[in-house]
């Protein structure tokens, strides 16, 4: 009987240890899931940087980012975490995520905690923070920030989400899509400026002489010392550009001798790279001979000043046009009432994909391969799916939706599986599937994706 009692006691102890172990295991699993659900950049050095703005908290301010995103800040919006209204200068930190590479770099989760069989397909994401004297601020009760988030892709059937506590997405409200009127107006203004430059710029007559090496261009000899005038009504940007070129040859052609009208025709032959044939460039302009007085030095100074001014104006216009081209044509507008990450998303079911037990060639090379983070990057869907527990659970792939598998290896390396291999391996029915990877440094990968 004593032995039976001891046996029962031993079974009870073992059962108790098993229950404790199970509870600890579940807690560990829950803790691991919580860590995975939060924001975890692949690399601190390669994380998406913030753009910083200094604003006066007592003045209404509108900020514009290089994408065209607008943030309307009203005075009295910011409060300390203890509820005290903020006065003076506030630092606003903003960053945006408009492609899958940016989402991957940032480590922002795109799986839904409420439905782990779904992931989010983004149409644009915005993070905003506010600080004063190093202390993070909040948006006061009843206050808000008007946001117009740049939209580079369709937002059809999308919703507005907020990443609560930097861990779990919750649906907040609706949004509206509007044209980027500010961009449209600015482009129209610049185009009008360019037309005005071409049409209404008050050019003056251009008086010049033809110079050249006597041995190379002997046809100039009869005309040496002769001054020519291009009447201001014939001066165009093309004429000014032509005046900068060293032409190979020139010919004076009669147009109306009685009225002293001639045409100067210029030629230049330019060699092309490799075996490509040479290209001949031609230009002609109406001129008249003139005996106006004036030194060559004076004329050179005038022309140099004119060209410098024309260059500056043109460069400013082209730079502004290039900047505007980066802005989105549409804006998704909504109201921000909390600091953090806001996302225009559409939930997509993983059940539309094929579950696969995946294995990789790097498992034999890395001792703790179980710690390797694994992602599926879908550029067309503009999403990144984190398969945190890929060692024990299937990952979800598709032969129809372009995607790439990205594994984060030690030492800043990535192991990549392209879409062609994914499609080829999915055509077979055997599991597990062994994927072969190509290695690439993180910095090189993101630079190639246009993100650095």
Query: Which of the two residues, 51 and 242, has the higher pLDDT score?
Result: 51
**What does the pLDDT read at residue 17?**
45
**What does the pLDDT read at residue 19?**
42
- Domain ranges in the chain are 30-180+329-351, 206-325, 353-452
**What does the pLDDT read at residue 296?**
46
For CA atoms 22, 25, 29, 35, the dihedral sign is positive
116, with CB counted inside 10 A (0-12, 13-18, 19+), is exposed
Mean pLDDT within 21-31? 40
**Dist. CA 50–CA 96, nearest whole Å:** 8
**What does the pLDDT read at residue 342?**
96
Question: pLDDT above 90 covers what percent of the chain?
Answer: 46
Mean pLDDT within 320-328? 86
Q: How many CB atoms lie within 10 A of CB 59?
A: 9
The pLDDT of residue 26 is above 70: no
Question: pLDDT above 70 covers what percent of the chain?
Answer: 80
The pLDDT of residue 380 is above 50: yes
Query: Which of the two residues, 310 and 347, has the higher pLDDT score?
Result: 347
**What does the pLDDT read at residue 181?**
92
**What does the pLDDT read at residue 215?**
55
The pLDDT of residue 79 is above 50: yes
Residue 131 confidence class, pLDDT cut points 50, 70, 90 = very high
Helix, strand, coil % in the chain, rounded to nearest 5: 30, 35, 35
Least confident of 80-94, 163-177, 295-309, 343-357: 295-309
The pLDDT of residue 201 is above 80: no
**What does the pLDDT read at residue 346?**
93
The pLDDT of residue 40 is above 60: yes
**Dist. CA 195–CA 359, nearest whole Å:** 62
Q: What are the structure tokens assigned to 229, written together? A: 């005038």
The pLDDT of residue 27 is above 60: no
In DSSP notation, 365-423 reads T-TTGGG-EEEEEETTTTEEEE-TTTTTS-EEE-SSS--EEEEEEGGGEEEEE-HHHHH
Least confident of 25-29, 78-82, 312-316, 371-375: 25-29
**What does the pLDDT read at residue 450?**
59
Task: For the sheet with 61-64, list strands across it.
Answer: 61-64, 70-73, 145-151, 330-336, 176-179
Provide the CA 137 distance to its chain's centre, in angstroms. Answer: 28
* Cβ atoms of residues 114 and 347 within 8 Å: no
Q: How many CB atoms lie within 10 A of CB 157?
A: 9
What's the mean pLDDT when you consider all of the chain?
Answer: 82
Least confident of 50-54, 212-216, 438-442: 212-216
Mean pLDDT within 269-293? 74
The pLDDT of residue 446 is above 80: yes
Mean pLDDT within 128-138? 96
What is the architecture, at CATH level 2, of domain 30-180+329-351? Sandwich (2.60)
Query: pLDDT, tens digit, for every residue of 240-266?
Result: 888 878 887 788 888 887 777 888 888
Q: How many CB atoms lie within 10 A of CB 164?
A: 14
């Amino acid at each position: 009987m004593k032995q039976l009692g001891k046996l029962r006691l031993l079974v009870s102890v073992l059962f108790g240890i098993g229950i404790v172990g199970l509870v600890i295991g579940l807690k560990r699993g829950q803790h691991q899931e919580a860590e995975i659900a939060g924001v975890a950049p692949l690399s601190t050095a390669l994380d998406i940087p913030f753009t910083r703005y200094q604003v006066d908290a007592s003045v209404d301010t509108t900020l514009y980012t290089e994408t065209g995103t607008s943030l309307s800040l009203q005075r009295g919006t910011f409060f300390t975490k203890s509820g005290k209204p903020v006065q003076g200068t506030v630092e606003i930190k903003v960053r945006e995520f408009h492609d899958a590479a940016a989402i991957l770099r940032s480590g922002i989760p795109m799986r839904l905690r409420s439905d782990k069989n779904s992931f989010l397909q983004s149409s644009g994401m915005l993070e905003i923070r506010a600080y004063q004297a190093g202390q993070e601020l909040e948006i006061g009760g009843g206050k808000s920030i008007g946001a117009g988030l740049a939209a580079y892709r369709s937002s059809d059937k999308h919703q507005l989400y907020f990443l609560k506590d930097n861990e779990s997405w919750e649906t907040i409200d609706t949004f509206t899509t509007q044209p980027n009127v500010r961009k449209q107006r600015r482009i129209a203004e610049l185009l009008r400026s360019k037309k005005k430059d071409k049409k209404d710029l008050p050019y003056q007559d251009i008086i010049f002489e033809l110079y050249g090496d006597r041995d190379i261009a002997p046809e100039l000899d009869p005309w040496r010392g002769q001054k020519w005038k291009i009447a201001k009504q014939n001066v165009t940007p093309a004429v000014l550009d032509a005046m900068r070129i060293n032409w190979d040859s020139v010919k004076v052609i009669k147009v109306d001798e009685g009225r002293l009208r001639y045409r100067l025709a210029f030629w230049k032959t330019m060699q092309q790279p490799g075996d490509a044939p040479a290209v001949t460039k031609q230009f002609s302009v109406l001129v008249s001979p003139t005996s106006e007085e004036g030194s060559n030095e004076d004329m050179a100074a005038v022309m140099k000043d004119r060209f410098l001014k024309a260059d500056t104006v043109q460069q400013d216009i082209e730079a502004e046009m290039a900047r505007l081209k980066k802005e989105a044509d549409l804006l998704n507008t909504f109201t921000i009432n909390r600091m953090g990450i806001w996302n225009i998303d559409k939930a997509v079911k993983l059940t539309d994909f094929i579950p696969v037990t995946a294995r990789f060639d790097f498992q034999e090379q890395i001792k703790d391969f179980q710690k390797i983070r694994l992602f599926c990057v879908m550029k067309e869907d503009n999403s990144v799916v984190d398969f945190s527990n890929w060692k024990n659970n299937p990952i979800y792939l598709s032969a129809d939706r372009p995607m790439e598998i990205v594994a984060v290896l030690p030492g800043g390396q990535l192991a990549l599986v392209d879409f062609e291999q994914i499609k080829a391996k999915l055509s077979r029915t055997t599991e597990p599937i062994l994927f072969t990877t190509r290695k690439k440094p993180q910095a090189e990968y993101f630079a190639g994706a246009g993100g650095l």
